Amino acid sequence: MPPALSLSSRSLRTADSPISYFIQKAIETPGLISLAAGLVDESAFPSAEIAQVVAEMMANPATAKAALQYGSTQGLPALRARVLDRVCTADGVKPSDINLTLGDVVLTTGSQQMLYLLGEVLIEPGDIVLAEAPSYFVYHDCLKSHGAKVIGVPMDDGGMCLKSLEKELIRLELAGELKKVKLIYTVDYFQNPTGLTLARDRRPKLVELAKRFSKHHRILILEDAAYRELRYDGDDITSIKRFDTTNEYVIYTTTFSKPCSPGLKTGYSLLPNDLVAPVCNLKGNHDFGSSNLAQHILNRLLETGAFDRHLVRLREVYRSKRDAMLTAIATEFASCPGVRWNVPAGGLYVWMTFPSGTPTGKGSPLVEAAVSEGVLYIPGNLGHVPNEQGKVPDHEIRLSFGVAEPSEIAEGVRRLRRAYAELETSKRGARESVLT
């Protein structure tokens, strides 16, 4: 045996992702329908459009050189200009209306890299991040690796409850812990995992709350708008960023992975200006710039309109998949007392709640029955932060309609129903044997 490795405290705080178990299950089990992974639809990738823009770029020596040479840490200016325009157009403002310029836009290796960098730039071990309960569990892992404590804020149909958030901030202030609060994290469009969207009227109020409690330092809002462009019903809702008219309190981050292709692994963010240098200095150390070729491809896809044409098609694909899932769930679970589910207007996820006393996590009878029926889901407990007793709600699940075909989705839901029926039967059996 060689002498042991001596790992940093950060490394020791960093565990394998809790979903590795589920990925492994998916790999090991032939015929399994995965409603677990947040992967995206494969039939709808804009492969012909990508082939075309690459062929055009490579055929012209000037554009080929630009795409194949190093880029900059902050990212391709032309693409930064396009995404700034894109977000502001969606919000019905000019960049100058909300104090934004090209210098406030940063491109990253997916939006995940920005989530990581922000934690790295802002979090000291022991600091606090407030997040929806449940929230995007992959980011919880990041925050844990930075040494942050995540406090969950309850949600209702309008997303994060601002009354609860306010109460929590007051509690923290009274406990002398407001100094530790660095971020309020929200996935505010068709949230992962619940599919819920932060209500329109809560958005300016959230900015006001952050301002009001920025007593020791600025408390920033991290608006993770990854799913914003995947809307299937109704009109787009103004971003939280729109209400941060001085560009001081809100970081808006999103990705091309969901509306276009994860293989390009490119995200973009609008940052308060004084946060750009700290973030880019660290990103310079990480990689001095994400894949420049991917940025050039995306720039051309946006420029030619191929991106938006693709998005129209993609929304159709996902709308019908969502409908397939909701129809199947309604058909299969309508008569199950205490089983409820959200009806998302966009995104990739349906959130189901089973009666309490129906654990859904790793090793639970439901997950075991589901896998043996041939369907995989993500347990809801992964998205929750344990309370002071180490407990989390354990009777929820996340279903994704992103990657499976509509027919598979329906079959997957039927398998889930059979798995749940086995539980009901065995519960009833247990009850009856107690009674007799």
- Applying CB under 8 A, among 18, 21, 39, 319 the residue interacting with a second copy is 39
DSSP per residue over 161-213, as a string? -HHHHHHHHHHHHHTT-GGGEEEEEE--SS-TTT-----TTHHHHHHHHHHHT
Q: Which residue has the tokens 């560009």?
A: 247
84 is a contact residue toward a second copy (CB under 8 A): no
Buried b or exposed e, range 31-41, using 16+ CB within 10 angstroms = ebbbbbbbebb
412 is a contact residue toward a second copy (CB under 8 A): no
- Total length of the chain: 436
Cα atoms in the Cβ-side hemisphere of radius 13 Å centred on 117: 30
187 is a contact residue toward a second copy (CB under 8 A): no
> Among the candidate windows 5-13, 80-88, 167-175, 369-377, which touches a second copy by CB under 8 A?
5-13
Do the Cβ atoms of 183 and 122 come closer than 8 Å? yes
Q: Closer to a second copy at the Cβ: 109 or 194? A: 109
> Among the candidate windows 164-172, 246-254, 345-353, 388-396, which touches a second copy by CB under 8 A?
246-254
- Applying CB under 8 A, among 101, 164, 245, 291 the residue interacting with a second copy is 291
Do the Cβ atoms of 257 and 267 come closer than 8 Å? yes
Write out the binding residues for a second copy, residues 270-289 only, by CB under 8 A: 272, 274-275, 277-278, 281-282, 284-289
Q: Distance (Å, rounded) from C-alpha 376 to C-alpha 34?
A: 5
Write out the binding residues for a second copy, residues 43-82 only, by CB under 8 A: 45, 47-48, 50-51, 54-55, 58-59, 61, 64-65, 67-71
| DSSP 8-state class, residue 346 | B
17 is a contact residue toward a second copy (CB under 8 A): yes
28 is a contact residue toward a second copy (CB under 8 A): no
Q: Closer to a second copy at the Cβ: 122 or 423? A: 122
Whole-number Cα distances in Å, 108 to 85, 112, 279, 421: 18, 8, 11, 45
Least CB distance to a second copy at residue 326 (A): 25
Q: Closer to a second copy at the Cβ: 2 or 31? A: 2
Q: Distance (Å, rounded) from C-alpha 22 to C-alpha 397?
A: 13
434 is a contact residue toward a second copy (CB under 8 A): no
Least CB distance to a second copy at residue 254 (A): 15
Residue 264 DSSP SS3? helix
- Applying CB under 8 A, among 75, 95, 110, 380 the residue interacting with a second copy is 110
Q: Which of 346, 128, 102, 400 is nearest to 237 (CA)?
A: 346
Q: Distance (Å, rounded) from C-alpha 349 to C-alpha 196?
A: 9
Over the window 142 to 171, marking each residue x when it contacts a second copy by CB under 8 A and - when it does not, the resulting string is x--xx-------------------------
Task: Please enumerate in sequence order all residues whose Cβ is within 8 A of that of 354, keeping only pairs 6 or more positions apart, or say none.
Answer: 338, 339, 360, 366, 395, 396, 397, 420
261 is a contact residue toward a second copy (CB under 8 A): yes
- Applying CB under 8 A, among 91, 120, 223, 229 the residue interacting with a second copy is 120
Q: Which residue has the tokens 């920005």?
A: 114
Q: Distance (Å, rounded) from C-alpha 243 to C-alpha 207?
A: 7
Least CB distance to a second copy at residue 120 (A): 6
Least CB distance to a second copy at residue 306 (A): 13
> Which residues on neighbouring strands pair with residue 269, listed in sequence order?
106, 253
126 is a contact residue toward a second copy (CB under 8 A): no
Tokens linked to 373: 């029926």
Q: Which of 30, 33, 34 is nearest to 19 (CA)?
A: 34
Q: Closer to a second copy at the Cβ: 112 or 381? A: 112
- Applying CB under 8 A, among 83, 294, 325, 371 the residue interacting with a second copy is 294
- Bridge-based pairing state of the strands 250-255 and 267-270: antiparallel
- Applying CB under 8 A, among 74, 109, 194, 358 the residue interacting with a second copy is 109
Q: Closer to a second copy at the Cβ: 5 or 434? A: 5
Q: Closer to a second copy at the Cβ: 9 or 433? A: 9
Tokens linked to 29: 């089990």
5 is a contact residue toward a second copy (CB under 8 A): yes
Q: Closer to a second copy at the Cβ: 260 or 370? A: 260
